[in-house]
Structure 1
Amino acid sequence: MKNEKSLSSRLFRTMAWTAILILAATLAILIPTLSHSFTTSRRDYLNETTAIVRRALNENPTDRMDYLKKAGKTSKLRMTWIAKSGKVLYDNEADVSTMENHKNRPEVRAAMKFGKGTSSRFSKTLSESTDYCAMRLKDGSVIRLAQTRLSTFGVFGRSLSIIAFLIFAVIAVAFLLAGHQTKAIVDPIINLNLEEPLENDTYDELSPLLQRLNLQRTHIEQQFEMLKKQQNELEAITSSMRDGLVIISHTGKVLSVNDAARQFFRLYQDPGSITYLHLDHNIDFLKLIQNAMAGQSSEMNCKRDGRYYQLIAGPGETDGGIYGAVLFIIDETDRQSAERLRREFTANVSHELKTPLTSILGYAEIIGNGIADQNDIPELSNKIIKESRRLLKLISDILRLSQLDEMATDEKTESVDLVGVSKQVVHDLSAKAQQNNVTLSVEGEAAPIQGMATTLYEMIYNLVDNAVAYNRKDGSVKVKISEDASETRVAVSDTGIGIALEDQPRIYERFFRADPSHSKATGGTGLGLSIVKLGAMMHHATIDLDSALGKGSTFTIRFPKMPDSENANA
């Protein structure tokens, strides 16, 4: 204990003296530094002001006295005008008649000889320094400005009270800190390491207590590790679940909530401090949990943030008794959306298949029942053929769309030149273009990419086919292939009827037609752009549209350039 007291006194004295010495050293450095900086600044200001006064006097040689008298009344600097002979002509702080000759003043002598002179004179009585700056005028006279400032010792003397206060404040703080640190050092029991009781170097009398603490700590750590392992296993399972999971005790306290459930309930606090009443105030939800806690499983549906959810709650049982409730939150949005799309697609397919079949059946019955005139039979037969071809194309597009949907194509990835594919498309559609008086053209240099040749052909074919079908008479369709360091682009531009802005978000929907009457007249199935969209997705490409009614349309497919390793595995 004696050594501890001796150490405490030593620490106390060391900290106090260190603080005092640091303060003294700081003041010894800071005061001269600040004084020097202040002096330099004041001298620079004196020199600049003297230069300004000299320039004004040189510019107005006839009005010098008036200028000096006017400036001298408001200036905080002392102004003295000295003739070439050394006689004082003007001074704003003294009677010139009582002033001696200034020719031998060092700053005046230097100004007369070199054009500028400076000097400083120190007053021991007042602990002040006066800085002088003199400059020669054009007629040989000298203008001198002076300012008085405190010296370093003067600044120190005037700041003595502040410095004394700081010293006493630092000493007081040092005493407080030293006392606090001393108390921490001399009180080893307070600083015992209870995490490692046997590692403490303390009094022998405490050894039996520390040994018991070590045994209890080891036992608690084993139990804690086992519980932590079980909790981690549960969290690892539930956090990876897409569905939400909430476990509630028989008292209504929330025991566990996985990430999906937290997001559903917007739960941002520790679930251990809340009950199921805090999760949602909806009456149906509360009844759902209460029924589960009473031993009855039940479910409910709800809509939140535009998504559809199914909530299923069941009782949690242990040893034959009700422990609490387990709540599952299942996101039904994708399933319902897929079901809605399936119904819509089925209805659209039925309608689209029924339309040509009805026409074929009607024309066939007219011919078969002998109602048609012999001269009309060829025309009716052509209509049957036309509707049959439309039906075959519709079936072909549906099957192709299904393949692309399921990625069920057996095409191989290879190097495909988009310019060559575009020229082949233009060649295949040239007859249709001529019938519609539409000019086709391809622009661009060879631009090979890694892709599926048949799918790429279908994508460009559908875009050009639509551009021809929805074009105006004597219109044009241009296919432009370009590339840069990041992507390869295929742009199909036409001079056709264009697409209304409100219809553009839906053009890739299956069986959607911006102009149904025109589509029927051209024989379109409404699936072409859907095939283009799926083909683009298979090639990791994007599609941009620039269109306006009456101004034509431009579809641009952007194929990103992938590293060679990705191209090889594409």
Structure 2
Amino acid sequence: MNVIWARSAAILVSLAVIAAGLYVFVGPVAGLTFLCIALFLQLCYYLFQINRLWKVLDAPAYGEIPSALGLWGEVYYRLHRLVKRWRTQVLQVEQQHTRFIQAIQASPYGVLMLDDADQIEWCNGVAEQHFGLNARRDVRQRITHLIRRPEFIQYLTRERYDEPLVMRDMGEHKRNITSVQILPYGESRKLVLTQDITKVENTEAMRRDFVANVSHELKTPLTVLTGFLETVRDLPVSEEDRRRYVDLMLVQSMRMQRIVEDLLALAKLESDVQPPTQDRVHVGALAAHLVHDAEALSQGRHQIAAEIDAGVVLRGAESELLSALGNLVSNAVRYTPDGGRIAIRLSYTDGHSVFSVSDTGLGIAPEHIPRLTERFYRVDRSRSRDTGGTGLGLAIVKHVLSRHHADLRVTSEVGRGSTFRIVFPTDRSGYEPAAVAPQLPDPRRHAA
């Protein structure tokens, strides 16, 4: 017997004992009258408490459980304990639900839930960005009324979801590539997962372009070599023609060698996971060496000026830095028309070492600047081949600067020239005023 039954029985027994006592000592009328009145009052009290309990159950609210004496006090106490336990469970479920929603919101994947009528039940922020939706506004809307792309509607209705759908021109700026896959679950419900694969697709496109470019760059010199070899082998040629053919073949073979060397240099930079060495490199002497190389490459066809602060010191790999800076200088010489001016500068400003190369060449259109460091990317392919470039120089510069945490900043104006500026971070830059200034040539001697 539980407590409620025990207390109810105790109350009834107590009333019966009192009524029996009155019946024996006062008389039967008194005993029966007392018993009837007590039971009536007990019934009224029960009806009152039942009405209170009904109100509590009809509109439950935590913390509003009434109190009472006796049996109903026990009932309300147990009800309060039940509500408290129920509230604790609800709070735990809400916390788990909140953490689950936060986890999905933090996911880089878009998640969109559809009911059995393909109406939106819920979606996270990434899905909103991918499809241009608004979670509050578009809930309970059919997905096909909001996403009207024919390929998506066909993918949704044909119910073959083994392979994801690739949708292009998505997102706010209509430039993203999004992978969409639908997963059925529950009772005719669907889970739509989205992923931005723009970088993956761009990387794959770059890989295809790289293979095509390498094949194209090597095909031209190989074709030349093959043609001249067949000519020398099958046709009688004079000694003068033979020497001219050999010279041309040597030029093409050297071009292939430069391409292979640059490819190997790039592969080494990309595969080297170790940070560059922390050697102290006196960039002033390095820049002076590059000025001499520029003069030798120019052969008096350009005006070359240099402003080099001999005290600039960098921490890094000297061979890598020489390769990066040298590529910028050689590019300026190759792509600047005869009679143009080239300025090479090295300075220490606000804790940063800055190396820049400016020229008065043809300039670069703004749409080409972001792609200059791609392998084999050329603004003018024919001119690049004429000047002997491999199309890999700026790609090497990009990887070297990335390893040294430096920035490459390019400013250019078509018809007026370009400036390539490298800014090294403070933790790799230094200055030693006592350094001896390198002997630089007088640029006036090299005016065209």
TM-score by structure 1 length? 0.56
Matched residue of 1:529: which SS? helix
Give the letter for the 1:415 counterpart.
Answer: R
Residue 243 (structure 1) aligns with? 109
Residues 297, 427 of structure 1: CA spacing in aligned structure 2 closer, same or farther, 3 A cutoff? Answer: closer
Deviation, structure 1 residue 276: 4.6
Residue 229 (structure 2) aligns with? 364
For 1:309 and 1:451, how far apart are their aligned partners in 2?
A: 40
- Answering whether residue 180 of structure 2 is matched by residue 311 of structure 1, we say yes
Matched residue of 1:412: which SS? coil
Residue 239 (structure 2) aligns with? 374
Tell which has more relative contact order, 1 or 2 (C-alpha 8 A, sep 6+): 2
Residue 349 (structure 1) aligns with? 214
Contact 2:131 2:147 in 1 (8 A): no
For 2:131 and 2:412, how far apart are their aligned partners in 1?
A: 43
After superposition, the CA RMSD in angstroms is 3.6
Residues 267, 227 of structure 1: CA spacing in aligned structure 2 closer, same or farther, 3 A cutoff? Answer: farther
Deviation, structure 1 residue 399: 2.5
Deviation, structure 1 residue 512: 3.0
Residues 419, 213 of structure 1: CA spacing in aligned structure 2 closer, same or farther, 3 A cutoff? Answer: farther
For 2:84 and 2:122, how far apart are their aligned partners in 1?
A: 27
Deviation, structure 1 residue 391: 0.5
Residue 134 (structure 1) aligns with? none
Residue 125 (structure 2) aligns with? 259
Range with greater deviation from structure 2 (518-527 or 208-217)? 208-217
For 1:272 and 1:491, how far apart are their aligned partners in 2?
A: 53
Residue 217 (structure 1) aligns with? 83
Contact 1:197 1:210 in 2 (8 A): no
Deviation, structure 1 residue 429: 4.6
Residue 9 (structure 2) aligns with? none
Residue 557 (structure 1) aligns with? 422
Residue 261 (structure 2) aligns with? 396
Larger Rg: 1
Residue 66 (structure 1) aligns with? none
Residue 443 (structure 2) aligns with? none
Residues 299, 548 of structure 1: CA spacing in aligned structure 2 closer, same or farther, 3 A cutoff? Answer: closer
Residue 317 (structure 2) aligns with? 452
Residues 269, 518 of structure 1: CA spacing in aligned structure 2 closer, same or farther, 3 A cutoff? Answer: closer
- Answering whether residue 100 of structure 2 is matched by residue 234 of structure 1, we say yes
Residue 402 (structure 2) aligns with? 537
Residues 384, 436 of structure 1: CA spacing in aligned structure 2 closer, same or farther, 3 A cutoff? Answer: farther
Contact 1:297 1:315 in 2 (8 A): no
Residues 231, 521 of structure 1: CA spacing in aligned structure 2 closer, same or farther, 3 A cutoff? Answer: same
Deviations 1:448-477 (A, max 9, x none): 123332221111101111122233445553
For 2:143 and 2:365, how far apart are their aligned partners in 1?
A: 51
For 2:252 and 2:91, how far apart are their aligned partners in 1?
A: 75
For 2:416 and 2:151, how far apart are their aligned partners in 1?
A: 55
Contact 1:493 1:554 in 2 (8 A): yes
Residues 291, 256 of structure 1: CA spacing in aligned structure 2 closer, same or farther, 3 A cutoff? Answer: farther
Contact 1:403 1:409 in 2 (8 A): no
Deviation, structure 1 residue 306: 1.8
Contact 2:342 2:359 in 1 (8 A): yes
For 1:457 and 1:355, how far apart are their aligned partners in 2?
A: 30
Any gaps of 5 or more consecutive residues in structure 1? Answer: 1-188, 565-570
Deviations 1:431-455 (A, max 9, x none): 3233646646452232112333222
Deviations 1:43-63 (A, max 9, x none): xxxxxxxxxxxxxxxxxxxxx
Give the letter for the 2:323 counterpart.
Answer: E
Deviation, structure 1 residue 354: 0.6
Give the letter for the 2:299 counterpart.
Answer: Q
Deviation, structure 1 residue 492: 1.2
Residues 434, 328 of structure 1: CA spacing in aligned structure 2 closer, same or farther, 3 A cutoff? Answer: same
Contact 1:438 1:473 in 2 (8 A): no
Deviations 1:362-381 (A, max 9, x none): 22222222432112222221
Residues 409, 360 of structure 1: CA spacing in aligned structure 2 closer, same or farther, 3 A cutoff? Answer: farther
Residues 421, 370 of structure 1: CA spacing in aligned structure 2 closer, same or farther, 3 A cutoff? Answer: same
Contact 1:513 1:519 in 2 (8 A): yes
For 2:137 and 2:366, how far apart are their aligned partners in 1?
A: 48
Range with greater deviation from structure 2 (300-309 or 336-345)? 300-309
Contact 1:280 1:286 in 2 (8 A): no
Match 2:336 to one of 471, 475, 489: 471
Deviation, structure 1 residue 430: 4.3
Contact 2:110 2:126 in 1 (8 A): yes
For 2:154 and 2:371, how far apart are their aligned partners in 1?
A: 42
Contact 1:256 1:271 in 2 (8 A): no
Deviations 1:2-54 (A, max 9, x none): xxxxxxxxxxxxxxxxxxxxxxxxxxxxxxxxxxxxxxxxxxxxxxxxxxxxx
Residues 328, 473 of structure 1: CA spacing in aligned structure 2 closer, same or farther, 3 A cutoff? Answer: closer
Any gaps of 5 or more consecutive residues in structure 2? Answer: 1-54, 430-448
Residue 274 (structure 1) aligns with? 140
Give the letter for the 2:126 counterpart.
Answer: A
Deviations 1:397-448 (A, max 9, x none): 1222334445557742333222222123234454323364664645223211
Structure 1 residues 99-138: aligned runs within 5 Å: none
**Paired residue total:** 367
For 1:505 and 1:336, how far apart are their aligned partners in 2?
A: 18
For 1:404 and 1:512, how far apart are their aligned partners in 2?
A: 19
Residues 486, 240 of structure 1: CA spacing in aligned structure 2 closer, same or farther, 3 A cutoff? Answer: same
Residue 165 (structure 2) aligns with? 300
Residues 407, 378 of structure 1: CA spacing in aligned structure 2 closer, same or farther, 3 A cutoff? Answer: same
Matched residue of 1:372: which SS? coil
Residue 336 (structure 1) aligns with? 201
Give the letter for the 1:513 counterpart.
Answer: R
Residue 509 (structure 1) aligns with? 374
TM-score by structure 2 length? 0.69
Give the letter for the 2:424 counterpart.
Answer: F
Residues 253, 416 of structure 1: CA spacing in aligned structure 2 closer, same or farther, 3 A cutoff? Answer: same
Match 1:386 to one of 245, 251, 265: 251
Structure 1 residues 153-164: aligned runs within 5 Å: none
For 1:324 and 1:381, how far apart are their aligned partners in 2?
A: 73
Deviation, structure 1 residue 286: 5.2
For 1:372 and 1:408, how far apart are their aligned partners in 2?
A: 53
Give the letter for the 2:207 counterpart.
Answer: R
Give the letter for the 1:396 counterpart.
Answer: E
Using the aligned pairs only, state the percent identity: 27
